Amino acid sequence: MGRTILAVDDSATVRKFVSVALTMQGFSVVTACDGMDALEKLPHAQVDLVITDLNMPNMDGFELIKALRENPGYKDLPVIILTSLTDDSSKDRGAGLGVNSYLVKPFSLEKIQYEVSKYVSWAE
């Protein structure tokens, strides 16, 4: 059984691109449109890694990461931020929340595959 990635972004285009990039590598991908949607889907999926945007409605990426880190079942789940925010304060805030990688949009197919492979082995 392949590994599962949760891709959280309010942009359907970004969710689709991430899904295609990771599905090509044999991963299963679950998508969510914001942090609240992600938290609703997490209990129903065996997720091995989360990729999240920061700027989203209802619950932003920082709030999602904070909720994950406060939950004993998800506190060690690898998290990759994928955002258009390039400021140091956002990067520092992400680091303070224990994110594993911080990627800036636009990104390449190869870059997202490489970053995921650092934390989750390729699916069989």
Instruction: Confirm whether 74 is domain-assigned.
Output: yes
**Using one digit for the tens of pLDDT, what is the confidence trace for 97-116?**
999 999 999 888 889 989 99
Residue 123 lies in a domain: no
Q: What distance in Å separates the CA atoms of residue 23 and residue 46, rounded to the nearest whole number? A: 16
Q: Which residue type occupies 42?
A: L
> Which tens digits make up the pLDDT trace of 46-81?
999 999 999 999 999 999 999 999 999 999 999 999
Give the CATH number for residue 99: 3.40.50.2300
The percentage of the chain sitting over the pLDDT mark of 90, rounded to a whole number, equals 83
Residue 122 is assigned to a structural domain of this protein: no
Mean pLDDT of 26-50: 95
Q: Is residue 124 part of a domain?
A: no
Q: In this model, does residue 36 exceed pLDDT 70? A: yes
The token pair that represents 114 in the structure block = 């490489």
So what's the pLDDT on residue 1? 46
Q: Examine residue 64 and state whether it is found in any structural domain, yes or no.
A: yes
Query: How many CA atoms lie within 13 Å of 86's alpha carbon, on the beta-carbon side?
Result: 5
Considering the domain boundaries, does residue 112 fall inside one?
A: yes
- pTM exceeds 0.85: yes
Q: For residue 96, what are the domain limits? A: 4-117
Q: Are 26 and 123 in contact (CB under 8 A)?
A: yes
Cβ–Cβ under 8 Å, residues 6 and 49: yes
Of 14, 65, 12, residue with least CA distance to 35: 65
At residue 107, the pLDDT reads 87
Please count the structural domains in the chain: 1
